[in-house]
Amino acid sequence: MLKAENVVTTTCGYCGVGCTLNLHIQDGFIFRVTSPFDSPVNHGNLCVKGRFGYDYIYNKQRVTTPLIRKTRQLPGQRTQAFDRSEWREVSWDEALDYTADRLIEIYRRDGSKAMAVYSCAKATNEDNYLLQKMYRALFRTNNIDHCTRLCHAASVVALQMAVGSAAMSNTSAEVIESDVFILTGSNVTENHPIIALQMKKAIEKHGVKLIVVDPRRIEMVDYAALYLPIKPGSDVPVFSAMAHVILKENLHNPGFIANRTENFNAFRESMEKFTPEYAEAISGVDRNLIIEAARMYATAGKSSIFWALGIPESTHGTANALSLINLALLTGQIGRRGTGLNPLRGQNNVQGASDSGAMPWHYPGYQLVDVEENARRWEEAWNIEPGGLNRVRGLTTTEILSAVHPGGVRSLFIMGENPMMSEPNLNHTRKKMEELEFLVAQDLFINESGAFADVFLPAAAFAEKDGTFTNTDRRVQLVKQAIPPRGQARADWQIICDLAKRLEKRLGPAQSAFWDYSHPAEILEEMGRYVPDYAGVKYHRLEKAGLQTPVPTDDHPGTPYLYSQSFPRGRGKFHPLEYVPNSEMPDDEYPFVLSTGRVLEHWHGGSMTRHSWMDDLFPEALLEINSDDATQLGIANGDPVRVTSRRGSIALRASVTPKANPGVVFIPFHFWEAAANILTTDALDPQAKIPEYKAGVVRITRANEEELTNAVAPQIRGRY
């Protein structure tokens, strides 16, 4: 076996679990990845992506030199170009000067409303903090968002409404200390595999009981004491019916309710209509299963709830999450180890990007931008004149592109995101990308979105830079540079600092001291001076196991679980709920409900895994369909099919599987050749502004091999 000359311990750059990696390096090349058994997060275990999915770093399609498009594109005439002949290689100075000039030109002409930026949940806390700082401090805009808007935005809004915080209340490994846990809207074995191992251990070795509530028969159903096969979009009736049972049978916790909550009477009154019979009629779940689940959750010594994107990605996602929060408040199953409310974050640093202020309504630390005290605090932090920061809430990810028009958003800076894969209704997204006046892409590869760009700034991969990620457990962990960046690629924070200095020089007066950092540790310390939860998070304290926020002082040990004595908002607040149907319901023309999501081998828009040998393991999109539905349509496993919604059509192969329940189909969204989000609706949750990815409606017809071969949608033309 080749012996490593160096082993660097760092944090995985994929999902929100935040596994510890040992990168084994020989001659500057990563040839092996292992994990230390003493890691508090993953105890030596790794999924296939973490162990083998790092080779995208060396892919020949990676762009490692700054690029400027040869021909200046005009709004309405902007096109995707994957041909290298459309670009010219330039120096960093030319690329950044050109970028600064174009951004300043648009800002001076149209003001802050014309400026918008997509930050990145794959980037570090330091990268995200600086990017939002640059746009707020220099362009005076709050049009700043990232992929949390497309995943857990509704969970964040609901948790802030009910308890005043926006993160997991407990540590995922505490599941072994639970007596019962609910898993809903989460295919955890594929999306958070290491947490799935912990859950299986809790069940098999500690006797913990699992309740699965999901429209798909996921693998964890095999480990469950109860499975509630819910229809997509009926979460509020089912979980409110559980609350109804708990109230009627006096299984609630009167002491906890009286001492630590408010608005209980209004909530109790709203639950009257949510009988198990009512919920069964809407959800298809047997009323007796609902009753049994309610009793099991409420009577356990310790119960916890875990959920992922099946809950928030809905036009009533905020209400879905509130229905779970209501259960925890009703039973007092929160504020202790082995209990709590645990939204599993999808990307490696979606928690940290949110903490760092990469959102349109909040400064770092979830401080609202339209609260005068908060704005003044950050004006002082960034040496901005009083009243200089924008007090108006900005546009969300789902609103930014819709606002692209004369008099609206004219320029867009994209760091590490791929809206041409992740946004809903991609026909609309493409049209709006074409209407932009100036687009900057900062990434590893020219993806489907970067192909529209005027400038491409090559960024360093996770193994090529220092920084921190904050995982789904609120654990801040070090990311360490193991190898030099490829070619001329640079760390995101360095690119942002150099661009910010140019912008300040053009805007004047220069304040370059505020963009001079010798190491990301200085950036995190700056953030911690104004974000109490990060005040005690210092690099030298993160070496062994990281720290779980809140960490309010330099000697604080971190916080494994929250709310032991009180909630950030004081009392936990119950919220009355109503059942609201999905924005689209099945009918004769579109009889199937479509849910989208991830598979084990791939991740997000595919920019990393589809440039890795992970693409060999799962090379094409598949439509998961139930055998009864397939038989009625005359479809066999592996047959080409066409899936059509009111917004578009794609062709792909069928996978006939018991994982799909009748009437519900599933398509992963990683594949540009059959981009699932061509089909999805852009209807939004009114509170969180999150799209409905889990409950669009489609029709399915047989296709032929030629149709499949030529099925690349005209909206998505492949990769650079």
Question: Hey, where are the domains in the chain?
Answer: 6-58, 67-150+349-548, 153-344, 592-709
Tell me if the domain spanning 67-150+349-548 has CATH number 3.40.50.10800.
no
**Cα separations in angstroms, 97 against 411, 504, 589:** 16, 12, 53
Q: Which residues are CB-neighbours of 31 under 8 A, at least 6 positions away?
A: 2, 4, 24, 25
pLDDT of res. 72: 80
User: Exposed, middle or buried, 690 (CB in 10 Å: 0-12/13-18/19+)?
Assistant: buried
Could you say which DSSP state residue 311 is in? T
- Where would I find the beta strands (DSSP E) of 613-659? 622-625, 640-644, 649-656
CB 49 within 8 A of CB 601: yes
**Cα separations in angstroms, 411 against 100, 147, 508:** 12, 19, 21
What's the topology of domain 153-344?
A: Dimethylsulfoxide Reductase; domain 2 (3.40.228)
Residue 568 CA to its chain's centroid (Å): 23
Residue-wise pLDDT for 45-63, tens only, equals: 999 999 999 999 999 999 9
Cα distance between residue 262 and residue 163, in whole Å: 11
**Helix/strand/coil (H/E/C) assignment for every residue in 157-188:** HHHHHHCCCCCCCCCHHHHHHCCEEEEECCCH
Q: Which residues of the chain have pLDDT under 70?
A: 1-4, 81-82, 509-513, 709-720
Report residue 502 as tokens: 């140019």
Could you say which DSSP state residue 519 is in? S
pLDDT of res. 82: 66
Cα distance between residue 230 and residue 186, in whole Å: 13
Picking from 267, 382, 274, the residue whose alpha carbon sits closest to that of residue 329 is 267
pLDDT of res. 5: 83
Q: Which residues are CB-neighbours of 580 under 8 A, at least 6 positions away?
A: 236, 315, 316, 319
pLDDT of res. 594: 97
* b/e code 620-633 from CB counts within 10 Å (16+ = b): ebbbbbbeebbeeb
Give the H or E element holding residue 692. Answer: strand 691-692
What 3-state DSSP class applies to 294? helix
Start-to-end CA span in the chain (Å): 35
Residue-wise pLDDT for 235-255, tens only, equals: 999 999 999 999 999 999 999
CB 653 within 8 A of CB 120: no
pLDDT of res. 310: 93
pLDDT of res. 256: 98
Q: Which residue has the tokens 């509170």?
A: 687
Picking from 614, 619, 607, 601, the residue whose alpha carbon sits closest to that of residue 418 is 607
Q: Which residue has the tokens 């006096």?
A: 250
Question: DSSP for 50-76?
Answer: HHHTTGGGG-TT---S-EEESSPPPTT
pTM of the model: 0.95
CB 570 within 8 A of CB 554: no
Report residue 604 as tokens: 């997000």
Cα distance between residue 711 and residue 619, in whole Å: 15
Q: In CATH, which of 1.10.760.10, 1.10.10.10, 2.40.40.20, 3.40.50.300 is domain 592-709?
A: 2.40.40.20
What's the topology of domain 6-58?
A: N-terminal domain of TfIIb (2.20.25)
